[in-house]
């Protein structure tokens, strides 16, 4: 078994690390405080190819593998999880979904610009009453021949205000249950489409989360992704890959918090010595390091499964549920190691602790991941 990264993977990881330190770290505290979207930084991420990492160069992407994407996500998330969720949604949900299931016309019209980061995408599945229970969509897309009429509300949509292209999951024929659901490409500015208020969030506060309202929005038929009724499968396939991105984000939050705690423990003195020399602290660091390494193996295995054509539903769900737990646990311990300093903004760990929580909620809660895992292991 070979755990060695390729030269290209190392280069991508290092480039993401350098970018995060040079471009994301300055101002990350202020952006979090003001709930300010990292507009300039996201544009630079697009120029460097971080927003369409796995998309073919034929459509403006970087043509890289999922392992490289996971490595870059970890590095960006160590510093700024608000920027990395923009990256994750654009790469895993929007670009991947369009490249794999979109028509040539849809790819030419939308994917190329999304992959270059010239425009940003959003993925719109969740509703006030349909988050985990994704088949219970209330948003309707009624078939009117050459177009659909879209009505309803979507909630907690990442990139909700900044996106130009929205992949909206909606019910066309309730009698067919999940086989009656479609995925439609909706453009900002289509009449009847309104972006609702921005959510005031606990964490990832630099990211832009909104509700969306659709009032008789006329969406041309050519904007449907896949065959009639493919929308639920589209969402499930897209989310299966998205979970690897969020697992990488959780891993990054954990390793970012750990690195800060380790550094602090070597500088801060108490009882006559650096606090890392006390076993109470050293054992915490040992646990953090071990759990992060285990999470990294799960994340990279899931990414490797995807790159090698293996089923990645199980490995992706295991990576997400475990890495997000490690992110939460590690960030809490990092605050503890920092003591009083951990509770104030300038040491960064309180932000990482707040950011960690969302990784247990979005793109399928930990409970949903356990449904996916248990169904998979019990089916044979
Ligand atoms: N791949 C392909 N098809 C799948 C699938 C998968 N991973 N999982 C389910 N399906 C298919 C099934 O095969 C079935 O199709 P058939 O009837 O044709 O066989 C159909 O979907 C229904 O399957 P289930 O009966 O298993 O569906 P269920 O209602 O029991 O739900 C679930 C399964 C796993 C719980 C699913 O509803 C789920 O993943 N829920 C969570 C949704 C989610 O992640 N929401 C987060 C919102 S997006 C977000 O957070 C983005 C962001 O902004 C950051």
What is the full DSSP assignment across 234-301?
Answer: HHHHHHHHHHHHHHHHHHHHHHHHHHHHHHHHHH-EETTEEGGGSHHHHHHHHHHHHHHHHHHHHHHH
Q: How far is the CA of 133 from the centre of ligand 1 (A)?
A: 8
What's CA 50's distance to the chain center, in Å?
13
Q: Which of 140, 64, 52 is nearest to 88 (CA)?
A: 52
Question: CA 17, CA 53: separation in Å to the nearest integer?
Answer: 15
Q: How many CB atoms lie within 10 A of CB 7?
A: 8
* Mean pLDDT per 10-residue interval, the chain, length 380 residues: 96 98 98 98 98 98 98 98 98 98 98 98 95 90 98 97 98 95 98 97 98 98 98 97 98 98 98 98 98 98 98 98 98 98 98 98 97 95
Q: How far is the CA of 46 from the centre of ligand 1 (A)?
A: 30
CA distances from 78 to 28, 259, 367, 368 (A): 11, 9, 25, 25
Nearest residue by C-alpha to atom 44 in ligand 1: 364
Quick one: which H or E segment has residue 77? helix 66-79
Positive or negative: CA dihedral 186, 189, 190, 195: positive
Q: What is the pLDDT of residues 323-375, one digit of tens each?
A: 999 999 999 999 999 999 999 999 999 999 999 999 999 999 999 999 999 99
pLDDT for residue 163: 98
| Cβ of 253 less than 6 Å from ligand 1 | no
CA distances from 118 to 225, 361, 379 (A): 21, 29, 44
Mutate to test the pocket of ligand 1, among 162, 233, 316 (most ligand atoms within 8 A of CB): 233
**Packing angle of the helix pair 66-79, 231-267 (nearest 10 deg):** 50
Q: How far is the CA of 236 from the centre of ligand 1 (A)?
A: 5
pLDDT for residue 98: 98
Which SS3 state, helix, strand or coil, does residue 183 take?
Answer: strand
| Cβ of 186 less than 6 Å from ligand 1 | no
Which SS3 state, helix, strand or coil, does residue 142 take?
Answer: strand
- Which residues have a catalytic role annotated? 363
CB 327 within 8 A of CB 321: no
pLDDT for residue 131: 84
Q: Is the model's pTM score more than 0.75?
A: yes
CB 149 within 8 A of CB 79: no
**For strand 140-143 and strand 147-158, is the pairing parallel, antiparallel, or unpaired?**
antiparallel
| Cβ of 232 less than 6 Å from ligand 1 | yes
pLDDT for residue 160: 98
Q: What is the pLDDT of residues 65-99, one digit of tens each?
A: 999 999 999 999 999 999 999 999 999 999 999 99
Nearest residue by C-alpha to atom 51 in ligand 1: 363
Triad 338, 343, 349: Cα angle to 5°: 65
pLDDT for residue 356: 98
Q: How far is the CA of 283 from the centre of ligand 1 (A)?
A: 40
CB 350 within 8 A of CB 344: yes
């Amino acid at each position: 078994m070979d755990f060695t990264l390729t030269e290209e993977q190392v280069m991508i990881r290092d480039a993401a690390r350098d970018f995060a330190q040079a471009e994301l770290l300055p101002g990350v505290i202020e952006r979090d405080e003001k709930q300010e979207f990292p507009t300039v930084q996201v544009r630079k991420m697009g120029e460097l190819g971080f927003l369409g990492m796995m998309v073919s160069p034929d459509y403006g992407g970087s043509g890289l593998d999922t392992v490289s994407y996971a490595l870059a996500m970890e590095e960006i998330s160590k510093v700024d999880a608000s920027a990395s969720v923009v990256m994750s949604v654009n790469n895993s949900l929007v670009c991947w979904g369009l490249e794999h299931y979109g028509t040539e016309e849809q790819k030419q019209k939308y994917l190329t610009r999304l992959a270059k980061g010239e425009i940003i995408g959003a993925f719109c599945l969740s509703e006030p009453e349909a988050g985990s229970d994704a088949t219970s969509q209330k948003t309707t897309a009624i078939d009117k021949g050459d177009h659909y009429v879209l009505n309803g509300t979507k909630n907690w949509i990442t990139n909700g205000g900044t996106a130009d292209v929205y992949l909206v999951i909606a019910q066309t024929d309730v009698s067919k249950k999940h086989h009656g659901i479609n995925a439609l490409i909706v453009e900002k500015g289509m009449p009847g489409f309104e972006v609702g208020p921005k959510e005031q969030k606990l964490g990832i506060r630099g990211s832009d989360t909104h509700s969306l309202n659709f009032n008789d929005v006329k969406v041309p038929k050519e904007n449907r992704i896949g065959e009639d009724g493919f929308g639920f499968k589209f969402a499930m396939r897209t989310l299966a890959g998205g979970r690897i991105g969020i697992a990488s984000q959780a891993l990054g939050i954990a390793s970012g918090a750990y690195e800060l705690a380790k550094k602090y423990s070597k500088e801060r003195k108490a009882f006559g010595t650096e606090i890392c020399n006390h076993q109470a602290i050293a054992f915490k660091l040992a646990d953090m390091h071990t759990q992060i390494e285990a999470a990294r193996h799960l994340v990279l295995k899931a990414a490797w499964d995807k790159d090698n054509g293996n089923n990645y539903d199980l490995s992706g769900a295991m990576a997400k549920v475990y890495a997000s737990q490690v992110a939460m646990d590690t960030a809490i311990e990092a605050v503890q190691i920092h003591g009083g300093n951990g509770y104030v903004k300038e040491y960064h760990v309180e932000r990482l602790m707040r950011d960690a929580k969302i990784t247990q909620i979005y793109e399928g809660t930990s409970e949903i991941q356990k449904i996916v895992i248990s169904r998979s292991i019990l089916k044979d």
